[in-house]
Amino acid sequence: MNDTAGVRSYDAAAPTNNRPGLPVVNLDRAHSPQKVLAHGDLLRRFVEGEEIRPVHMRIGIMGACNMRCNFCNFHSPNEEQFYDLFSFKDSIPTENAVSLMRQFAANDGRAVTFCGSGECTIHPGYSAICDAGHEAGLRIGLITNGSRLGRPALAECVASTHTWVRIGLNAGTEATFDEITRDREHTFTSFLRNVSRLRESAIDPDFRIGFNYVITERNHREILAAARVAREAGAHYVRFEPEFYSALGHETIEAVMAEVAGALTEAAALADDGFEVSVPKLDRGPMDQVEAVEGDFDRCHYSRFVTAVGADGHLYPCPQVHLNSRYRIGNVIDDGYAEVLEGGPRAEWEASNPLRTDLCKSCFYRPQNELLELLRRGRIRLDDALASYAVEVPSTLHADFV
């Protein structure tokens, strides 16, 4: 991480590309890792060592998907050992998911992101689940392959209940999109009409819709074309991220990293007041089956603010590690969310897995965890950080999606 000596500002733990030749990391507002600073009361309790409940839940309500993306972790031979609990047959029944939404809201929950190992929008009860969450006061986000967004019932659900939608783009041309996703529903061409329609019809004044692009060896030459597609479609942003496997890190694109860096720099030049281009950290190491540890923190603090539920109905510390048996905490469908969170299972799991360095060598949420560690140690004074953040970010976009 950045140098820890001396007085620090709250952005000391911000993600950076440390290798020469890589572009400057520039994340869009919706994905800022510093959004935790919008929760002053929670942070104060955290720094003082008090228990807090997660405000954001990441959930996959089913394992099945109608695409087979060639970079998908859950279908990759690179991850067969890591995601050992994954099954495309897993699905949380509608009534159980509805109950979980209400339980989460009743236990200090504020926001839910539907994501996971499968495609949530093909769940037959997706709209009913979202309606229940929205009625309980939760804000709703969706990570999707976008194939169903043009269907009237789903489009109405998204427009009336969602705060944001992030769509997998992953190509700059329809031919490449179809090749790497095995799509059969003409999804790529639908982006040009569906994105702008949802942007215009959404009720939430903070609604954002954008694209995510996983950079691989096969699609890296279409980065600039994809940014142009995203802007033409009317998206608020396009977010790039490098392909990542738990035991490989970003090694799959190492040979083309110079081309990737150049293309991202060109794509970033397309940004304007109405369109953001998110440039990622490109030099993140492996998470599993390695000795090197990245990040100056021993415990996962981020999981105090955010939690994850898999399509198997179990609670996990975060979405990066869900469906791995080493991280499985307890079944919130059978036993209840509050009972798993505070009735013993989470405490038992944390006692048996005391250090993240024994499990997660690198961490997707490293910036958040390092910031929280610095605040907990007092290396950054909380009052100073909150005051500086309030001046620099007077209004945090999607603050509850920490």
What digits encode the pLDDT tens for the residues 176-194?
999 999 999 999 999 999 9
Domain count, the chain: 1
User: Would residue 12 count as lying in a domain?
Assistant: no
User: Would residue 194 count as lying in a domain?
Assistant: yes
Give pLDDT, residue 356: 81
- Assess whether pLDDT exceeds 90 at residue 272: yes
- Assess whether pLDDT exceeds 70 at residue 4: no
User: Would residue 48 count as lying in a domain?
Assistant: no
Mean pLDDT, residues 386-392: 96
What digits encode the pLDDT tens for the residues 134-157?
999 999 999 999 999 999 999 999
- Is 290 buried (19+), middle (13-18) or exposed (0-12) by CB count in 10 A? middle
- Is 169 buried (19+), middle (13-18) or exposed (0-12) by CB count in 10 A? buried
Give pLDDT, residue 382: 96
Q: Are 312 and 323 in contact (CB under 8 A)?
A: yes
Residue of 368 and 355 predicted with greater confidence:
368
Beta bridge partners of 164: 141, 208
- Assess whether pLDDT exceeds 60 at residue 224: yes
User: Would residue 310 count as lying in a domain?
Assistant: no
Give pLDDT, residue 8: 66
> Could you list the residue range(s) of the whole structural domain that residue 64 is in?
54-295
Give pLDDT, residue 188: 98
CATH at residue 286? 3.20.20.70
The pLDDT confidence band at residue 59, using thresholds 50, 70 and 90, is very high
- Assess whether pLDDT exceeds 50 at residue 229: yes
User: Would residue 46 count as lying in a domain?
Assistant: no
Rounded to two decimals, the pTM is 0.96
Beta bridge partners of 239: 212, 278
Residues 256, 301: Cα–Cα separation, whole Å: 34
Torsion angle in degrees (nearest 10) through CA of 122, 364, 316, 112: -50
Most confident region among 72-76, 116-120, 143-147 by mean pLDDT: 143-147
Length of the chain: 402
* Burial 118-128, CB ≥16 within 10 A → b, else e: bbbbbbebbbe
